[in-house]
Amino acid sequence: MLRVAVLVSGGGTNLQAIIDAVENGTITNTQIVGVISNNKNAFALERAGRHGIPAQCISPKDFETRDEFNRVFLDKVNELNVDLIVLAGFLVVIPEMMIREYRNRIINIHPSLIPSFCGTGFYGLKVHEAALERGVKVVGATVHFVDEGTDTGPIILQKAVSVEEGDTPEILQRRVMEQAEWKILPQAIDLIANGKVQIVDGKVSIAQ
């Protein structure tokens, strides 16, 4: 059983997609052992509670220094004894010591086709605003391993989504979630849980 912690900051629709996929058997061999949010008002925490998943909040705001936060944050994750950390709309920078300790065991969902519209400042709705501003015709989502850079780690899965006439950032965001994010994030977890994901020369190779 792959022990998974899901880290969230907001509504938690990606968390919900993971929970549903575990419950309906789309994700196999996996147990969600905890949800952590930096935001005590995150609806994601309620979603976890409804499904009997232990949920907790830890915010940098409650600590005097970032180092102190980082240490306690790492302790909380370690206590869960996890094989995989899933960032599902988690908007806190992952401490370097956590990246080192969990090398190739942290994945993130990003709402664009990396390397477009990613890196510092590109998160949430901003990504979709930038895509519409540029006038691209195809957008999408990416699941990738987390390394020390921002959205630079090895890419596991990507899925493209069409931009349509009259799209607003909100409409586009919803389409990208429905058609891409909620599919490829559970799929990536299932592949990892079943030993199908390997990193070779910094790139992901997926066994058939």
> Which are the catalytic amino acids?
110
10 is an interface residue for ligand GAR by CB under 6 A: yes
Residues 69 and 181: their CA atoms lie apart, in Å, by 29
Is 140 a binder of ligand GAR (CB under 6 A)?
Answer: no
Exactly one of 56, 57, 83, 124 binds ligand GAR (CB under 6 A); which one?
124
The residue range among 9-17, 19-27, 46-54, 132-140 that interacts with ligand GAR, by the rule CB under 6 A, is 9-17
Judged by CB under 6 A, how many residues of this single chain contact ligand GAR?
17
Which of 113, 114, 129 shows the shortest CA–CA distance to 172? 129
CB of 64 to ligand GAR, least distance (A): 27
CB atoms near residue 176 (< 10 Å)? 24
Pick one of 2, 5, 13, 172: the residue that binds ligand GAR (CB under 6 A). 13
Owner of token pair 């900051």? 9
Cα–Cα distance measured from residue 187 to residue 21, given in angstroms and rounded to the nearest whole number: 9
User: Does 111 help bind ligand GAR (rule: CB under 6 A)?
Assistant: yes
Q: How far, in whole angstroms, is CA 139 from its chain's centroid?
A: 18
Residue 135, classified by CB atoms within 10 Å of its CB into exposed (0-12), middle (13-18) or buried (19+), is: exposed
Q: Which of 33, 38, 48, 89 binds ligand GAR (CB under 6 A)?
A: 89
Q: Which is nearer to ligand GAR, 132 or 194 (CB)?
A: 132
For the bound state, the minimum distance from the C-beta of residue 128 to ligand GAR, rounded and expressed in Å, comes to: 9
- 193 CB-near residues (< 8 Å, 6+ apart): 2, 27, 28, 29, 30, 84
Q: Which residue is nearest to ligand GAR (CB)?
A: 89
Q: Which tokens in the block code for residue 18?
A: 């993971």
Q: How far is the CB of 99 from ligand GAR (least distance, A)?
A: 15
Strands of 17-121 (E only): list them: 30-37, 55-57, 84-87, 106-110
- Please report how close the Cβ of residue 161 comes to ligand GAR at its closest, in angstroms: 12
Give residues in contact with ligand GAR (CB under 6 A).
8, 10-14, 44, 88-89, 109-111, 123-124, 127, 177, 181
